[in-house]
Amino acid sequence: YDSVERVLDAFRAGEPVLIHDFDDREGEVDIVYPAGSVAPRDVARMRNDAGGLVCVALPDDVAEALSLPFIDEVLTHPAASSHDLAYDSRSSFSFTVNHRESFTGITDRDRAMTISRLAPVAEATRQGDYDVVDFGNEFRAPGHVHLLRGAPNLLDDRQGHTELGLALADEADIPPAVVVCEMLDDESGAALPKTAARDYASRHDFAFVDGDRLLEALR
């Protein structure tokens, strides 16, 4: 696997990296971008090459300041009543948003706008210069970009792609907002095997890293 330094350099340069979590967790590879560097062509890459759900992870302190809840904590529907995920104790999902300047919200242009604005928004929120009212003026819900909320102590609490990506952003000293999208196999429909994801990474000159190595370096 690539060194964590290479992964951090890629992130600082605004390039995507591939992150495999753990064989005993999801066992999935996500393509992960710093949210601020996402352009329409990057959304196209996520839906065409990755094929999973396009989500933006924000850290707990930013989500708290912006009143972005864990969605299962606010839903009263029976479907949200018990937490029986097979691979973790809980999900990191919050709700979905669109930038208010988007039209339908799903196009590459619309999603890139929603996603890329979340980076300066996260940064400004951390600095106390942006709040829930500003957020409501700039974004509408429901939308077409899933928000994820990181665990309060990131990797000490939870080791999902949500926390792996956010810990990487902190270490790279870039705004705390990252996009994640699962790599799926077009043939089988299953998660893209790790070896195939590695091949994809080397074909595109993207860094590839796994959870164990990130935990060692970032925790």
Tell me if 29 sits within 8 A of 164, measured CB to CB. no
Q: Does 148 bind ligand 5RP (CB under 6 A)?
A: yes
In DSSP terms, which residues pair with 57 in a beta bridge?
148, 178
Window of 68-76, 78-86, 116-124, 154-162 that interacts with Zn ion by CB under 5 A? 154-162
Strand ranges (DSSP E) for the chain? 17-20, 29-34, 55-58, 93-99, 139-149, 178-182, 207-210
Q: What is the DSSP string of 120-170?
A: HHHHHHHTTS--HHHHHHHEEEEEEEEEEE--TTGGGT--SHHHHHHHHHH
Catalytic hit among 21, 30, 60, 110: 30
Catalytic hit among 42, 98, 161, 200: 98
- For residues 149 and 161, which CB has a smaller minimum distance to Zn ion in the complex? 161
- Of the candidates 87, 70, 35, the one whose C-alpha atom is nearest the C-alpha of residue 149 is 70
Q: Does 160 bind ligand 5RP (CB under 6 A)?
A: yes
Q: Determine whether 182 is an active site residue.
A: yes
Q: Does 187 bind Ca ion (CB under 5 A)?
A: no
Rounded Cα gap, residues 7 and 2, in angstroms: 7
Site string for ligand 5RP, 10-39 (x = CB under 6 A): -----------x----x-x-x---------
Provide the minimum distance between the beta carbon of 86 and ligand 5RP in the complex, in angstroms, as a whole number: 11
Q: Does 186 bind Ca ion (CB under 5 A)?
A: yes
Tell me if 14 sits within 8 A of 34, measured CB to CB. yes
Q: Does 84 bind Ca ion (CB under 5 A)?
A: no
Residues in touch with ligand 5RP (CB under 6 A): 21, 26, 28, 30, 52-53, 55, 88, 92, 148, 160-162, 180, 182
